[in-house]
Structure 1
Amino acid sequence: MVGRILVGIDGSKSSWTAADYGIYFSKKLKRPVVGVHIVDIRLLETPFIEDLAGALGFTTYADITPKLKEILDERGKALLDEFAQRCREAGADCSIAQAFGIVANELVDMADPEDLIIVGKTGIHNKFAPLFLGSTSEAVARKSKCPVMITTDRFMEIKNVILAFDGREKSVHAAQYLNEIYKDIGIENLTVITVFEEKSEEKEKHIKELLESNLDIPYELEFLYGYPDEELEKFILDNRNKYQLVTMGAYGESRIKELILGSTTSFIIHKSPIPVLLVK
């Protein structure tokens, strides 16, 4: 059973789409949605503050920091008020929360294992991503102890879903998670995609047995052959107008193997034109 739905709100187009999905899931699952705004403390500590102070005419760096903090705090409150208004108009059960800190860390710390976090792929501070060492959405997905949905800039009602399934533990968890939400969300079609580098009847049989044991809802199974990242990306892109959600296990490889070979999860997060739901 899904607990709360936590939505990261930063004022970007992507975060307002995430808000729409949060309200959508709240009403479908009959669970509360929480709009969360984190004032990123790195905006108060990074070198560009000195340039900003000079441009605004502040004589010392210290003059601008408290004022900027106050401005960011007020901006966050205004964003959350707008989120709450959207919730009330949609008839969703919602609350709001605000904090200062590192965005990914604070958002993850607020969530319980049974919750669902929804964040936009591209945040308001995306242009500072190189300075901040990676995207917030990916950091949340890596650190979270609960499922994370990463949205694009366009809301779509979820009817047709892809499950990327490789037979490992986290992909099994993704299948089981769909069992829980399938009926309430109103999913009409589920397509399971498994990619092998080469054809293997033994491996295909193993995948079929795992799905029969762990997926309790109707589905179609399709095997693809080649490099998993490339084949999965191609399938999603070719069918972007048919499906509204990709579900997969989050970061199934060891960190060492990911460092050497890369991560399918990270690749799909960045490449998918439709939202991605990651299950631990």
Structure 2
Amino acid sequence: MKNIVACIDNSAAAAAVCDAAAWVSTQVERPLVLLHVLDKSIYPAKTDLSGNIGLGSRTHLMEELADLDIQRSKLALEQGRLQLDEARKRVEPLGVKSPELLQRHGHFVEALQDLQEDTRVLVLGRQGEDHESGLREIGGNLERVIRTLSCRILITPPSFNKPQKVLLAYDGSATAKKVLYVIARSPLCKGLPFHLLMVGENNQKNQQLLEEARKELLEQGHADVSTAIKQGDVESTLLGYQKEHQLDLIVMGAYGHSRIREFLVGSTTTNLLRQSEVPVLLMR
């Protein structure tokens, strides 16, 4: 059985990640794994000081600095364990039974890649603890995760409220149809009102595509489905519609169609994540 994996750190978004992951876990009835990664780029297991300090009489200083490195890593591991324990205490009252606590030492993205096969939804904060200088910035690790992993990723801002209404960005493409197929059948948003929004020209073809998507949601038991076509810049139009209708969750494909977008995080995705005040579920 695939798990819900929540990335826990010491960032301002950690509580929101716990709340979002607990919501996903209980909705889809999948086990929750609380993950803390001690990133090698921040806490190396061992530092090579031989090129910085001379030999002979300075050997004892090298040893002392190496010991400090070891102590620093041990403290970081202990801090991570405490963070995981606090996360456990937060998610259990939200209905999560016996969450698994998992700690890894390695590169953050590589650690997530190792777990990807058993991950149904990955839950991340918009910013990690090493990238909180600006509230509207997104962490570098987040961009790499989106670019590298193929699982579904839920990104939450520093606060999370249980979704009551969902915005599905839809353009009628093959990718959008796959996203629609999955989300329509998923228990994640079962029973919630849906707003289908297409950003483009309001013509007969697009109206027909939206109507077909609306019917698919209705057939899967979603009784309250609205559709709209808006013209304008994609991310500002999506976010403007979300705010106007007070929608609590944005669901969209992670990339555009071009091969460049398959290699890099698309500008629409990046800008939307940066500006969104609600969680965004990215589906590949």
TM-score > 0.5 by shorter chain: yes
In the TM superposition, what are the counterparts of 1:231-270 in structure 2 within 5 Å?
231-239=237-245, 242-256=246-260, 262-270=266-274
Aligned partner of 2:184 in structure 1 is 179
Aligned to 1:195: 199
Matched letter for residue 176 of structure 1? Y
The AA in structure 1 aligned to 2:3 is R
Contact preservation (8 Å) 2:127, 2:139: no
Q: CA deviation at 1:117?
A: 0.6
2:277 partner amino acid: P
1:65 counterpart residue number: 69
Q: Which amino acid aligns with 2:71?
A: K
**Cα RMSD (Å) of the superposition?**
3.0
Where in structure 1 are there 5+ consecutive unaligned residues? 51-57
Contact persistence 1:25–1:185 (CA under 8 A):
no
Moved more, 96-105 or 34-43: 96-105
Cα-to-partner distance string for 1:144-180 (whole Å, 9 max, x where unaligned): 2211100111121111010011122332222122223
Native 8 Å contact 2:3 2:30 kept in 1: yes
Name the CA shift for 1:178/1:259 in 2 (closer, same or farther; >3 Å). Answer: closer
When normalised by structure 1's length, the TM-score is 0.81
2:150 to 145, 152, 164: 145
Alpha-carbon distance, 1:237 to partner = 3.8
Question: Contact 2:5/2:119 (CA < 8 Å) preserved in 1?
Answer: no
Partner of 1:7, secondary structure, is strand
**CA 1:113–1:191 in 2, change beyond 3 Å: closer, same or farther?**
farther
Report the equivalent of 2:175.
170
Tell me how far apart the structure 2 counterparts of residues 127 and 142 of structure 1 sit (CA, whole Å). Answer: 21
Q: Distance in 2 between matches of 1:252 and 1:98?
A: 34
Alignment check: 8 A CA contact 1:158 1:186 kept:
no
Shift of 1:136: 2.1
Number of the residue aligned with 1:276:
280
Alpha-carbon separation, structure 2, partners of 1:205 and 1:236: 22
Deviation sequence 1:77-97 (CA, Å, 0-9, x none): 111122222333444121111
Q: Which residue of 1 aligns with 2:57?
A: none
1:214-254 Cα distance to aligned partner (Å, 9 max, x none) = 77334111000122223113223444xx2110001111333
Alpha carbons of structure 1 residues 40 and 160: separation in structure 2 relative to 1, 3 Å = same
Alpha-carbon shift at residue 64 of structure 1 (Å): 3.0
Query: What residue is the counterpart of 2:43 in the other structure?
Result: 44
Q: Look up the match of 2:52.
A: none
Structure 2 unaligned blocks of 5 or more: 50-59
How many corresponding residue pairs? Answer: 262
| Distance in 1, Cα, partners of 2:190 & 2:209 | 29
Say whether the 8 Å CA contact 1:161–1:187 is kept in structure 2: no
**Which protein has the larger Cα radius of gyration, Structure 1 or Structure 2?**
2
2:208 counterpart letter in structure 1: K
* Percent of aligned pairs with the same amino acid: 25
